[in-house]
Amino acid sequence: MRLPELQIADLVAKVPIIQGGMAVRISTGALAGAVAAAGGIGVIGASGMTFEELANEIRLARAKAQGGIIGINIMFAAREFWGIVKTAIKEKIDLVFTGAGFSRDIFKVGQDNDTPIVPIVSSARLAQTSTRCGAAAIVVEGKEAGGHLGTDRPIREILPEVRQVTDLPVIAAGGITTGADIVEMFKLGANGVQIATRFVLSEECNAALPYKQRYQTARQEDIVTISSPVGLPGRAIKTPFVEKILSKTAPKPVGCDFCLKHCSLEYCIIQALINSQNGDIDNGVVFSGENVWKIKDKSIRPAAEIVKELAKEAEEVQV
């Protein structure tokens, strides 16, 4: 199947692949710019960044994108949600993806600033609400996704339900690792796909080598669901720290910078993510999609090669 272009508002991506935004500092300007230059949509994981840092990453992505499309992903649960959104808009970001909570007000801000807003939802009800509120497109995410989860239902169940309630572009997300997966999502009604896990094994991904190596060694039994202080479950790969979360023995936060609007204080999620991004995975959380173990080629290579490979795999699927 030859993959079609993906249009969101006035933006047209030659390849209908959105690189999912991964916090904290896993997907930065280098990765977003590389994917955008390859014809997809590159996304900076903005959660946990300062406003100045985000502005710099957007500029870096734009310099590398060769005219391609750049977005940010920001958790609604983040205390600095509005500051991040305003910073991105000031830097003329192409579009904003938002999940881990739902805001009706964000759509008005997007309309007032001519910035497409794309919510990440996990139900037909929220997809319908998003359509009424003025979303430019909808990412529908199943339980197979990495990071914070909004459902325990698989994407293959939710996607057809969402397709029935909206005429907007629908982007499927969660557990997509091959071109065959992409074709299946299109058959179920998707206009594009969002893929994050696959891009961790790219040269441009900002994760330290031990983080990437944990992806390379992951087995099916290593993929677990953990609780998060955000108030949502999360999909991760087993590490010593993750084992402590599962056994309810993770250390409580020492000090707090109140990065979340609401936090259970079970442990410090942002410090755990920073630790793993820096390479200290023994004291960190390594978020990952459910199907990381299914990736056939786990070599670390340029993001553009990954985009091309996924498109080629899809073309080889007989429809």
Tens digits of residue pLDDT in 69-103: 999 999 998 889 999 999 999 999 999 999 988 89
> What does the pLDDT read at residue 3?
95
Q: Which residue has better confidence, 259 or 26? A: 26
* 59 backbone dihedrals φ, ψ, rounded to 5°: -65, -40
| 89 burial level (CB within 10 Å; 0-12, 13-18, 19+) | middle
Spatial separation of the C-alpha atoms in residues 107 and 94, rounded to whole Å: 14
Count of beta carbons in the 10 Å neighbourhood of residue 287 = 27
Residue-wise pLDDT tens digits, 120-150: 999 999 999 999 999 999 999 999 999 999 9
In this structure, the strands spanning 117-121 and 138-141 are parallel
- pLDDT one-digit tens code per residue, 141-188: 999 999 999 999 999 999 999 999 999 999 999 999 999 999 999 999
Q: In this structure, are residues 23 and 33 in contact, taking their beta carbons and an 8 Å threshold?
A: no
> Apex CA 179: angle with CA 33 and CA 127, to 5°?
75
Distance, in Å, from the CA atom of 195 to the CA atom of 18, rounded to the nearest integer, reads 6
CATH architecture of 6-206+295-315: Alpha-Beta Barrel (3.20)
For the cut 90, the answer to whether the pLDDT of residue 255 exceeds it is no
d(CA 156, CA 153): 8
Is the pLDDT at 109 greater than 80? The verdict is yes
Question: Any idea which of 87-91, 208-212, 258-262 has the lowest mean pLDDT?
Answer: 258-262
Residue ranges of domains in the chain = 6-206+295-315, 209-292
Please write the tens of the pLDDT for every residue from 22-48: 999 999 999 999 999 999 999 999 998
